[in-house]
Chains A and B, each alone.
Chain A
Amino acid sequence: MADDPRPFDSWTCPAPLSGGGQVLLGHGSGGKLSADLVRDLFLPAFHNPALARMDDQAILAINGLRLAFTTDSFVVKPLFFPGGDIGSLAVHGTVNDLAMGGAQPLFLSAAFIIEEGLPMETLERIVASLRRAAADAGVQVVTGDTKVVEKGSGDGIFINTSGIGVVPDGVALSADQARPGDRILLSGAIGDHGIAILAQREGLEFESTVASDSAALHTLVAGMLGASKEIRCLRDPTRGGVSSALNEIAGQSGVGVELDERAIPVREEVRGACELLGLDPLYVANEGKLLAIVAPEAAESVLSAMRRHPLGAQAAIVGSVSAAHPRTVTMRTVVGPTRIVDMLAGDQLPRIC
């Protein structure tokens, strides 16, 4: 696509970030620090219309075909966790980023950055899992890369996957499409992935039966799009949780989002862990859930379509889009009053007080 000359007033400089001059873990948390990094460094550096949409995938029109293109890196500890591993996660994460654009995922790349000394058997298990997940999702891994770094320079293994899919005609999903009156649909209980990982963290361990919800969501999305074309936007609430995803939509669409706390499904195990560690499930990561912003008249039919799919059996309408307080997410709490659901600066930390 042609490079349009940009108007003078949209010129921006990649200004250095304020505050310390060091990258912190929080910059990768999916919260405010991540958003700042993207806004202040990456967006100005690479400015173009496809990137400016700020969705989970870029939509590229080439010879009349609309391609969805995305990339994601996976750095999970432990490598194997209840409900999945870094291999299956690397497929699901990228397939889902494509699916959130309404695309049919087709091809993946897989790049492995391996720390010297990783047992070969571990690598084989991860690759087998990745292969299985790709086959289950109906995508092929068509290109790849391998690098090995010195012991101590990596955390066992990091995987990057990129993906390409095709967006069907008539589908145009984007985070700037939410309109007042739209309903917010959530495909199931939140926080499973984050809590399953946290349960394994040294120093915080607890016994639980929570498994990661890691799953490929494209067939769920296809079912939803089959039920109605009045879906404005889809997001999978990964890092930063439901809160970050909805704050991004509210910001990009210039609307308010109003949640109903009682309508949000949370598993008893996830609630228990959150109570114990002082965490809010709205900020905990998911890897197999989606949020849909749907026109009010289509909400019920999309909801039924979701519930017919195994990954959407617990789907619920959890709120609506409003013209009041634009760019802000609020929630009616279980006891009645309303509060703000802010984006966190960095990772949510267990608290003692």
Chain B
Amino acid sequence: MDGTKRQLLAAAGIDVDDALDRFLGNDTLMIKFLLRFPQDGNFSRLRNAMAQSDAASAFEAAHTFKGVVGNLSMQELFSQVSAMVEDLRRGDLRTAAERMPALEKAYGQILEALAQLA
């Protein structure tokens, strides 16, 4: 993986070294799953559930989303969504809703970087 791509991903909040470690240095495999990330439906499910104040569905979506984000070492997004999962586990929709803008922002940055990577 060349330096430009690496910088691009790092700027979007991805710990590239950590992600590469998880794929045991197999960057082809890592990029394959990074490029597939925008199609992952969990974020939009989370967004919809939050809009409808459906705490149970929101928790489920956030939980799954956290798993994907963690595997791809999207650190910024991971810490945001992890906190949100805990809020929703407690059923605290209000605090969770307050986190949505930051989450949207981090998610947007990742999508942008991945669009350039492609």
Q: Is this pair of chains taken from one and the same complex? A: no
